[in-house]
Amino acid sequence: MATTNDLKNGMTLNIDGQLWNVVEFQHVKPGKGGAFVRTKMKSVLSGKVVEKTLNAGVKVEVASVEKRDMQYLYKDGEDFMFMDSTNYDQIRISKETVGDAVDYMLENTDAIVAMHEGNPLFIELPASVELKITYTEPGLQGDRSSGGTKPATVETGITVQVPLFIKQDEKVLVDTRTGAYLGRAN
């Protein structure tokens, strides 16, 4: 248990049996009446973001979320198989839990899996991943009508906007949070 004074961004709370991540919070002390904490929280299961107002000093239950280093092994039907990097246990994680991370995962990709009471909650990937371009049109020299970028399909199947000089079969760095091109991979 903690109080609203102990809130931090990224903290996971158990409110009414549901898990919520604190996105941001603000302590408010109006001139009249008691202080309160205005929070923006994201549901761990649904991803829905809501704003909640809590009275200052109220006790809230902090959920114990364990983050484990895991490696993505392979896709099995609709589920994804991950292996714990410390004890080599394999777990099956549903497509809904993996979410948008599937667009950036290749076999043997390292990830952090957040677990609560043995159940996987969400996947955290590194900030950028190295992906090979499987198809892109050749860039025409002098074509600047599109701002100097063109669409390119990477090996996971998503399309990324890349500069005109990038060729097919090159490896590029892609931001896993925005899907933006970051540069060529070494």
Q: What is the pLDDT of residue 69?
A: 92
How is domain 128-184 classified at the CATH fold level? OB fold (Dihydrolipoamide Acetyltransferase, E2P) (2.40.50)
* pLDDT tens sequence for the chain (186 residues): 888 888 888 888 888 888 888 889 999 998 888 899 999 998 887 778 899 998 888 898 998 888 899 999 999 888 999 999 899 999 999 888 888 888 899 898 899 998 888 888 888 888 899 999 999 888 666 655 556 788 899 999 999 998 888 888 999 999 988 889 998 887
Q: What is the pLDDT of residue 145?
A: 56
Q: What is the pLDDT of residue 111?
A: 92
Q: List every span in the chain annotated with CATH 2.30.30.30.
A: 2-62
Supply 65's token pair: 């979320």
Supply 46's token pair: 């649904």
Q: List every span in the chain annotated with CATH 2.40.50.140.
A: 66-124, 128-184
Numbers of helices and strands, H then E, in the chain: 1, 16
Beta strand 49-55 pairing with 2-3: unpaired
Class of domain 66-124: mainly beta
Q: From CA 82, how far away is CA 60, in angstroms rounded?
A: 32
Which CATH code, of 1.10.8.50, 2.60.40.10, 2.30.30.30, 2.40.40.20, is assigned to 2-62? Answer: 2.30.30.30
Which residue pairs from 81-89 have beta carbons closer than 8 angstroms and sit at least 24 positions apart in sequence?
A: 82/111, 82/113, 82/120, 85/110
Q: What is the pLDDT of residue 142?
A: 62
Q: What is the pLDDT of residue 183?
A: 87
Q: What is the pLDDT of residue 80?
A: 93
The structure's pTM equals: 0.69
